[in-house]
Amino acid sequence: MAAVESLSDLLVRELSDLKRFCDLLEEERKALTGTQADRLPDIAKEKAALVGQLNQLETRRDTLLVKNGFAKGRSGIEAWLASLPNASSDRHRWTELLKLAAQARDGNETNGKLINILLKQNQDALSVLLSGGTDSIYGADGQQRGLAAGKRSFGAV
């Protein structure tokens, strides 16, 4: 923790990191719905790093709140802001931080649902391709099965 770090400084850092996190969620959504699935591992790595940073900043914020005689968390920030005569910029940052946190929660939930839909589609497609029935196209080993006599192959006239 910096020697002269203030709650205002921490709010600025948290806001910046949370904005980047929201941007990453948007990138992730675009990668999931587009053709950039190869970007997902990099996005996940950066998201994890940002979550770690945000957790550290929250811990440092709580430590400073307690050190200054306030409770931890939201109630402590609200009390700290109420104690400041000219805290309009900090109040604005805190309000923005709360909005972005809700946006991040919603974006993460949406991406999670999208991932579940895509996984189900992939599982359904694999089930069709690997089904054990006589009409299946591929065997469990991934190799194409011979077609039953009298049936035409794909593309045959």
Q: Domains of the chain, with CATH numbers? A: 7-130 (1.20.58.300)
* Average pLDDT score over residue span 135-154: 61
The whole-angstrom separation of Cα 147 and Cα 45 is: 45
Cα-flanking dihedrals φ and ψ of residue 41, to 5°?
A: -60, -40
Q: State yes or no: pLDDT of 16 exceeds 90.
A: yes
The whole-angstrom separation of Cα 144 and Cα 137 is: 6
Cα-flanking dihedrals φ and ψ of residue 20, to 5°?
A: -65, -40
* Average pLDDT score over residue span 19-28: 96
One-letter amino acid identity for 46?
Answer: E
One-letter amino acid identity for 6?
Answer: S
The whole-angstrom separation of Cα 19 and Cα 25 is: 10
For position 72, what pLDDT does the model report?
96
Query: Facing residues of 138 across strands?
Result: 144
For position 1, what pLDDT does the model report?
42
Could you tell me the two tokens for 76?
């402590």
The whole-angstrom separation of Cα 14 and Cα 54 is: 6
Confidence of residue 2 (pLDDT cuts 50, 70, 90): very low
